[in-house]
Amino acid sequence: MKTLSKETGLLNVDKVGPIFTPLLFQGWRQIVPGQPGFVHETYFDLAGLSQGEKTIFFEGATVQDLQNPSGTGNAAGDLCYVIDIMSALPLSDDQLGAFIAYGGMQEFAFPTFDQTIYARMRVFSVDIDFAGSGYYNLISNNQLGSLSPTASDRIYVYRLVTWGTNNAGTNLSVWPARFLLQISAREEPEFQHIMRLKRSYDLQQSYDED
């Protein structure tokens, strides 16, 4: 078994009225200028591990966080959403948005359950008692995914962050995180491995055509 890791950097954003402006965004990009949505994307390279007609099996997946999101000038009711995704397929911004809405739990959703290796969707809010601390408190934490074996040579990693448009905070931060995958590479019967390769190829081609 082998443990792989990928990290996201610090995201620091200035908010003046309804406009969100990135100040420090280590590997992040703003999805729509001025809007509160940001994404960090990278991938695990499994090519060296899947050589020799071996299939990648996932033993576990998680995300480690340095601390909760924080802000300056927060008020009770301010919201922050943090969504982490590890997918066997690359996702467009539209597909990321659809995943946030449906979580791969609809027939038309993308990625599907099998293609979603791991995902975690969390909601943070500022409450009256701790508004002065500058930190958001976790109010919802939901995890999903299949950990399904794959013949793909990449696992795509996304972290999405968005804030409530009516937030009172003026300087907002989401701290670095580490994505972890525990994997093993094992041989399968040849026909099973060939079908996994075909499935991965078909899905990649379908994505490229769109």
102-126 pLDDT, tens per residue?
777 766 667 788 889 999 999 999 9
DSSP character at residue 34: B
Phi, psi of 195 (to 5 degrees): -65, -35
CB 61 within 8 A of CB 145: yes
136-185 pLDDT, tens per residue?
999 999 999 999 888 888 999 999 999 998 899 999 999 999 999 999 98
